[in-house]
Amino acid sequence: MTRRAEPGAGTSVTSKVLALLEAFTPDATELSLSELARRSGVSLATAHRRAAELVEWGALERDAAGRYRVGLRLWEVASLAPRGLGLRDAAMPFLEDLYEVTHENVQLAVREGLEVVFVERIAGRDAVPVWTRVGGRFALHATGVGLVLLAHAPAAVQEEVLGAPLRAFTPKTVSDPAHLRRMLADVRKLGYSVSDGQVTVDALSVGAPVFAADGSVAAAVSLVVRADSTQPSALAPLVMAAARGIGRALAGGPSRVFPAGRPR
Can you give the three-state secondary structure of 154-182, one letter per residue?
CHHHHHHHHHCCCCCCCCCCCCCHHHHHH
The whole-angstrom separation of Cα 82 and Cα 131 is: 25
Domain limits, the chain: 13-77, 82-250
Measuring CA to CA, which residue among 169, 152, 162, 159 is closest to residue 218?
152
Homologous superfamily assigned to 82-250: GAF domain (3.30.450.40)
3-state secondary structure of 256: coil
Kindly calculate the radius of gyration of the chain based on its CA atoms and give it in whole angstroms. Answer: 21
Digitized pLDDT (tens) for each residue of the chain, 264 residues in all: 333 344 444 478 888 888 898 888 777 889 999 999 999 988 999 899 899 999 988 889 998 889 999 888 887 777 666 555 578 888 999 999 999 999 999 999 999 899 998 988 898 777 787 777 787 889 999 999 999 999 999 999 999 999 999 999 999 999 999 999 999 999 999 999 999 999 999 999 999 999 998 899 999 999 999 988 888 999 999 999 999 999 999 887 554 444 433 333
What's the pLDDT at 22?
86
Topology of domain 13-77, per CATH? Answer: Arc Repressor Mutant, subunit A (1.10.10)
Q: Angle at CA 108, nearest 5°, toward 140 and 260?
A: 145
Report the residue count for the chain.
264
